[in-house]
Amino acid sequence: MRVLIVVWPLPAHLYPALPPAWALQGAGHEVRIASHPDLAGVITAAGFDAVALGSPQTVPSPSAVGDFLLPEEHRARLTEALALSADDPVWGTFSTYTYASSRIFHPEEGAPEERWAGVDALVSAAREWRPDLVLWDPNWPSGAVAARAVGAAHARILWGHDFVGWAAERTSRGRAALRSAGLADPVTELVRPSAERYGVPVDEELLLGQFTVDPMLPDMQLRAPGRRVPVRRIPYGGPDVVPPWLYEPSGRPRLAVSLGTTQRAYRNDRALVADLLEVVSGLDVDVVATVDASQLADGPLPENVRTVSYLPLGLLLPTCAAIVHHGGIGTLMAAVAHGVPQFVVADATAAYAGNARYVHDYGAGLTVGPRTSTTEMRKSLVRVLTEPAFQDAAEELRRDWLAVPSPGDIVPVLEGLVSSLRQGRRP
C-alpha cells in the first residue's frame, strides 16, 4: 500500500515517525513524508522521498510560530468557559504551542489566497499519488482533509502526548458553555476552514482520525477518545560519527546533560545551561553536555565538563550513569530505552511538567524546579547518581517500554485497519 506521512516541520516531530515509516517500507509498502520544505533535507537523509508543502516563499517559516498565538484575552475566555485552570500544563500547552503550531499552516476563514499554499499543496499531492493511508501529525490536521479528499484511510501519528485529543474531549463536554460565551470550539476551528475549502464535513473522525498511532507508554497517555494503536517509541536523533573518546575509561561515572534541540532552536535555555554547569562543577563525574556556543555563557567551563554541539543520545546514553535534562519527551524516552536514571529540571506549570512528574513518581529519577538553589539541585543529583533504587526503577521502566509493540509489530495491524476502512467496515 501507499502511505503518506504528514509531519510538523521540526525534527522532534519527524524522528518518532521514522521507525514506523522504516518498518512499513521494510515490509514492502511505499512511503512518502510530507512537510514544510525546510524539512525536506532531513527527510531525504532518512531514506524517504520528501513532499514539500509549498515553498519557503509561500508558507511561513516554522520559527514564526509565536506570531500565531491566541490573543491572551481570548485564551482566558476559553479557559473560563471550559472551567479549566490557567495553570494546567496540558491546557497551557494546547492553548499556546499546539494551537499556534497548527494555525501557522492552517489559515482562518477569509485569509488571503496565498496563505493556502501549504494546505493546497498537501491536497494536490494526495490527489496525484493516491495514498491508501495518510498518517498525520496532530499539529497538521489538514492531513485528514487530504485523506478524505481522495478516500484514503487516515490516522493521527503522535510525537508525544495527545494534547489535541485531550482538548477535544474537554471542548466536546464544554460545547454548550462555549456557545453561551460566544466562543467557537478551538479544536474544530483549527481545521474547519480547510475542510470547508475542500467540501469535507467536520466530524469527530476528521478531528481525531479513524485511529491513533500512539508512542507514549500506556500509563503516560492522556485520556482522549478513539482507538489507539500503541507503538514502542524507538529513540532516534539522526546519524553521527562515533567520537573516539566515547569509550575511553576514566575511572568515574559519566553524566549526560541535554536540553534538547527544540529548546536550543527557540533560544530559551541559556540561563538554565549556566545553572546546570554550576551544579555539576566539582562533582566526581565526567560530564558530557550536548550544548553549543549559543547556549554557553562567557567564562571557563568546569574542568569535568566536555561540551559537544550535538551527539545522538543513542550513542551517548549507553555510556552514562544518569542524565540531566529539561523533561522533553524525546530525551525522556531515550533515557527510558537505555535504562538510565533521570534528573529532570522543569517548572511545575510548564509543558514538560507531566513528563518530569512521571519520572519522579515511577522512582526512575528526581525532578526539581528551575529556581531550586544550586546546593539543593546538587544534593538531589548526587542521590540519582549514587542510590541503587533509581537504577533499579529505570531498568523496570525499560522493561515496560519493551512490552509495548515494536514498529514492526504494528505493520500487520495497520494493514488490517486500512483493509477494513477502505472496504467501509468498522475496524
Task: Looking at the structure, tell me whether residues 322 and 409 fall in a common domain.
Answer: no
Q: Are 269 and 331 in contact (CB under 8 A)?
A: no
Taking residues 381-409, report their average pLDDT. 98
- CB burial class (10 A; 0-12, 13-18, 19+) of residue 128? exposed
Q: Would you mind telling me the total number of residues written for the chain in this entry?
A: 427
Task: Looking at the structure, tell me whether residues 227 and 149 fall in a common domain.
Answer: yes
| Among the listed residues 90, 7, 114, the one whose alpha carbon sits nearest the alpha carbon of residue 51 | 7
SS3 345: strand
Domain that includes residue 347, residue range? 244-403
Per-residue pLDDT at 299: 66
Per-residue pLDDT at 204: 94
Q: Is the pLDDT of residue 93 over 70?
A: yes
Taking residues 183-198, report their average pLDDT. 96
SS3 364: coil
Per-residue pLDDT at 270: 58
Q: Is the pLDDT of residue 380 over 50?
A: yes
> What are phi and psi for residue 412, nearest 5 degrees?
-65, -30
Task: Looking at the structure, tell me whether residues 255 and 196 fall in a common domain.
Answer: no
Task: Looking at the structure, tell me whether residues 392 and 338 fall in a common domain.
Answer: yes
In a domain, 238, yes or no: no
- Higher pLDDT: 125 or 275? It is 125
In a domain, 373, yes or no: yes
- Higher pLDDT: 279 or 272? It is 279
Rg of the Cα trace of the chain? 22
pLDDT digits (tens, 9 = 90+) for 288-339: 999 887 777 666 789 999 999 889 999 999 999 999 999 999 999 999 999 9
CA distance 370 to 392: 26
Per-residue pLDDT at 426: 52
Task: Looking at the structure, tell me whether residues 325 and 381 fall in a common domain.
Answer: yes
- Alpha helix stretches (DSSP H) within 282-406: 313-316, 329-337, 353-362, 374-386, 388-402
Instruction: Give the type of residue at 170.
Output: R
In a domain, 382, yes or no: yes
Q: Are 137 and 6 in contact (CB under 8 A)?
A: yes
Task: Looking at the structure, tell me whether residues 253 and 361 fall in a common domain.
Answer: yes
Instruction: Give the type of residue at 404.
Output: V
Half-sphere CA count of 411, side-chain side, radius 13 A? 18
Per-residue pLDDT at 223: 86
- Angle of helix 186-197 relative to helix 142-150, nearest 10 degrees? 40
Q: Is the pLDDT of residue 95 over 80?
A: yes
Per-residue pLDDT at 413: 98
**Average pLDDT along the chain:** 93
Tell me, rounded to whole angstroms, the distance of Cα 401 from its chain centroid.
17
User: What pTM was computed for the model?
Assistant: 0.93
Roughly how many angstroms between the first and final C-alpha of the chain, as a whole number?
17
Q: Are 341 and 364 in contact (CB under 8 A)?
A: yes
- Using the structure block, give the residue that is written with the C-alpha cell 466536546: 172
Q: H or E segment at 322?
A: strand 322-325
Percentage of the chain beyond pLDDT 90 is 81
Task: Looking at the structure, tell me whether residues 228 and 374 fall in a common domain.
Answer: no
Task: Looking at the structure, tell me whether residues 23 and 125 fall in a common domain.
Answer: yes
In a domain, 239, yes or no: no
Number of domains in the chain: 2
CATH number at residue 295: 3.40.50.2000
In a domain, 35, yes or no: yes
Q: Are 264 and 295 in contact (CB under 8 A)?
A: yes
Per-residue pLDDT at 298: 66
CA distance 70 to 76: 10
Task: Looking at the structure, tell me whether residues 110 and 195 fall in a common domain.
Answer: yes
Strand arrangement of the beta sheet that strand 2-6 belongs to:
49-52, 30-35, 2-6, 133-136, 153-157, 212-214, 228-230
Taking residues 117-130, report their average pLDDT. 97
pLDDT digits (tens, 9 = 90+) for 105-121: 999 988 999 999 999 99
Taking residues 263-269, report their average pLDDT. 52
Q: Is the pLDDT of residue 261 over 70?
A: no
Q: Is the pLDDT of residue 357 over 70?
A: yes
- DSSP helix, strand, coil percent of the chain (3-state; round to 5): 50, 15, 40
Per-residue pLDDT at 266: 46
CA distance 329 to 350: 13
Instruction: Tell me the pLDDT band of 246, cut-offs 50, 70 and 90.
Output: very high
Q: Is the pLDDT of residue 284 over 80?
A: yes
Per-residue pLDDT at 288: 96
Task: Looking at the structure, tell me whether residues 202 and 285 fall in a common domain.
Answer: no
* Contacts of range 355-361, beta carbons closer than 8 Å, 24 or more positions apart: 355/220, 355/327, 355/328, 355/329, 356/327, 358/219, 358/220, 358/332, 359/332
Task: Looking at the structure, tell me whether residues 248 and 182 fall in a common domain.
Answer: no
Task: Looking at the structure, tell me whether residues 154 and 142 fall in a common domain.
Answer: yes
